[in-house]
């Protein structure tokens, strides 16, 4: 069925151009009615065309207008038919409404640097190399991507929204290789704190380089950036046999470390081992150093691809849907929350369990663990002010919870409470400042508060911080890390550099490192839906100040 809609869609889709300027229609895929009604509309339009008029679908009447609307409308019908038949071969038993006021007119892609700007390329055709065990058998990839294959960054649209969007370069194998695979010598370094899935990343990169591309050698740099100084820790050669089974282990097979970045020693290492691809796995600080390596390689006109895989258990790197290891950490946190709930329920009267979770700048783990559990009564995160007393105070809230339930569970992110306890000037080797111990402080405050009320209270404090990051990746993160590992290698082999690979809108993309770290670490929006969901579960008072109203222009 095809009927005229009352609104006009003037959208230009990326890569389609003027053909995507559509007159709004409502399509229902009932074939007979579609053909009948389409024929009726076209016949009416042709009749009026003979009189010098055109069918105006917006007004649902005939008027003398430019002879373009019917042509665009026909194109729209053909385009949507092809789209639906490709995606849904059996058709659709529903109506599709093409929205008249929701449109995209321009798309701007984040530019990912390419080594061909200053270094020669091999220019070899890309095929899957399935290894010597198969007699060097090669096969074509099912899909090879191009320079304008993009994933839109802004997929949420409304009638009052912008008509532009940014986009990322879609990750995946390209038709042409920048490097001769058999000559590739690569190095992998893991930096910063531990995270579930690090060994999966190492294994995935090694397997993709050797099994799919037939790379010559892969080295593992020991203990983070300090490993580029071989006097203290020589690298280890990573072969298929060496990395076999390491995905079942927590931590990182090649070790990690904070700080100790030395640009000159890094380039001495790269030159000594003839490295042409460097894979850096770490957080925003690690990626800032990687960006410096890429910039220096460009200045020296070295044919070295510097590629990143974002790693942060806190899920606070900008532009990503999520970072690997986050799902595993949230799942592991449930064990601590359940223990706290049992302790609180069994220690009568007025049992309270406090669980401290990781989250330096962002309370993502605490928030998602709270939503996942359904048994948390108070969640404190860095993004939301901590209020202890008064109508919105957490102590008064716990009083009410104990009156209703007899026990309570509190989840505290490690970075929460600086607005109450102050900011420390002490920093670690990675430049991270020491955080206040809000959980322990809150425990003392709770005990003192209930004592002043003449009520006994038993408070148990559980800190599983390092337990949730030292475990192997779960199934979801294991799949995610495999996708990240394969696609970062595809990008390097194609000649891209100074990029990191991540998931955006459920698709793998290449993100310029400079753009990714500019606003990292990111924080949860305290005025967003995620925090609304938390307070709907915990029933705690919302201490977020009202959003400032925009002054009228």
CA distance 122 to 176: 9
Q: Which position among 129, 149, 284, 314 bears the catalytic label?
A: 314
Whether residue 161 contacts residue 434, with contact meaning beta carbons closer than 8 Å, is answered with: no
CA distance 228 to 226: 5
Q: Structure tokens of 453?
A: 């009320």
Whether residue 187 contacts residue 253, with contact meaning beta carbons closer than 8 Å, is answered with: no
CA distance 171 to 244: 26
Task: Calculate ∠ Cα 102-106-110, nearest 5°.
Answer: 120
CA distance 510 to 491: 8
| Sign of the torsion angle spanned by Cα atoms 98, 100, 102, 106 | positive
| Sign of the torsion angle spanned by Cα atoms 350, 401, 447, 531 | positive
Whether residue 186 contacts residue 219, with contact meaning beta carbons closer than 8 Å, is answered with: yes
CA distance 125 to 140: 10
**Residue 420, CA atoms < 13 Å, CB-side half-sphere:** 22
Sheet holding 378-380, edge to edge: 378-380, 407-413, 351-357, 458-462
- Exposed/middle/buried for 260, CB within 10 Å: 0-12, 13-18, 19+? middle
CB atoms within 10 A of CB 156: 6
Between strands 458-462 and 351-357, the pairing is parallel
Whether residue 502 contacts residue 511, with contact meaning beta carbons closer than 8 Å, is answered with: yes
CA distance 144 to 502: 19
The full DSSP string for 439-465 is HHHHHHHHHHHHHHTT---EEEEE--T
3-state secondary structure of 355: strand
Closest CA to 515 of 35, 166, 72, 56: 166
Q: Verify whether residue 314 is a known catalytic residue.
A: yes
Buried b (16+ CB within 10 A) or exposed e, 70-98: bebbebbbeebeeebeeeeeeeeeeeeeb
Closest CA to 169 of 457, 526, 487: 487
Between strands 217-221 and 185-190, the pairing is parallel
> Which amino acids are annotated catalytic?
314
């Amino acid at each position: 069925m095809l009927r005229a809609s009352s609104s006009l869609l003037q959208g230009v889709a990326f890569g389609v151009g003027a053909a995507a300027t559509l007159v709004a229609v409502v399509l229902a895929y009932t074939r007979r009615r579609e053909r009948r009604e389409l024929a009726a509309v076209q016949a009416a339009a042709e009749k009026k065309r003979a009189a010098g008029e055109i069918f105006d679908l917006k007004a649902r009447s005939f008027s003398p207008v430019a002879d373009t609307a019917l042509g665009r409308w026909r194109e729209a019908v053909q385009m949507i038919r092809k789209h639906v038949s490709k995606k849904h071969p059996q058709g659709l038993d529903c109506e599709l409404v093409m929205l008249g006021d929701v449109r995209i007119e321009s798309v701007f892609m984040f530019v990912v640097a390419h080594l061909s700007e200053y270094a020669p390329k091999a220019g070899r055709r890309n095929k899957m190399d399935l290894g010597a065990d198969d007699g060097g058998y090669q096969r074509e990839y099912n899909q090879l991507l191009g320079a304008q294959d993009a994933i839109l960054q802004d997929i949420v649209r409304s009638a009052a929204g912008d008509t532009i969007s940014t986009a990322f370069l879609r990750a995946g194998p390209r038709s042409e290789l920048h490097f001769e695979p058999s000559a590739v010598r690569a190095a992998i370094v893991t930096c910063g704190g531990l995270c579930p899935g690090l060994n999966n990343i190492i294994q995935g990169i090694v397997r993709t380089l050797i099994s799919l591309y037939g790379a010559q050698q892969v080295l593992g740099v020991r203990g983070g950036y300090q490993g580029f100084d071989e006097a203290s820790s020589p690298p280890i050669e990573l072969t298929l046999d060496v990395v076999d089974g390491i995905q079942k282990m927590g931590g990182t097979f090649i070790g990690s470390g904070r700080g100790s970045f030395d640009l000159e020693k890094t380039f001495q290492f790269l030159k000594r081992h003839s490295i042409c691809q460097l894979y850096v796995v770490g957080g925003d600080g690690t990626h800032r150093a990687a960006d410096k390596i890429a910039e220096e390689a460009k200045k020296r006109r070295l044919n070295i691809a510097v590629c990143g895989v974002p790693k942060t258990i806190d899920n606070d790197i900008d532009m990503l849907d999520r970072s690997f290891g986050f799902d595993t950490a949230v799942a592991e946190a449930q064990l601590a929350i359940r223990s706290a709930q049992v302790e609180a329920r069994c220690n009568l009267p007025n049992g309270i369990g406090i669980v401290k979770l990781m989250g330096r700048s962002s309370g993502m783990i605490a928030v998602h663990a709270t939503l996942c559990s359904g048994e948390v009564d108070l969640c404190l995160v860095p993004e939301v002010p901590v209020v202890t007393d008064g109508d919105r105070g957490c102590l008064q809230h716990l009083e009410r919870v104990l009156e209703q339930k007899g026990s309570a569970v509190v989840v505290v992110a490690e970075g929460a409470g600086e607005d109450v306890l102050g900011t420390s000037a002490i920093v670690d080797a990675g430049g991270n400042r020491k955080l206040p111990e809000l959980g322990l402080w809150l425990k003392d405050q709770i005990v003192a508060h209930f004592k002043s009320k003449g009520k006994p209270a038993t408070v148990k404090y559980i800190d599983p911080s390092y337990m949730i990051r030292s475990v192997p990746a779960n199934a979801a993160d294991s799949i995610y890390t495999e996708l990240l590992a394969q696609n970062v290698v595809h990008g390097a082999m194609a000649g891209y550099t100074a990029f990191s690979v991540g998931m955006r809108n459920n698709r793998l993309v290449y993100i310029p490192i400079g753009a990714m770290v500019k606003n990292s670490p990111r924080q949860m929006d305290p005025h967003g839906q995620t925090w609304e969901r938390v307070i709907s579960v915990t029933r705690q008072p919302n201490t977020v100040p009202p959003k400032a109203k925009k002054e009228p222009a």
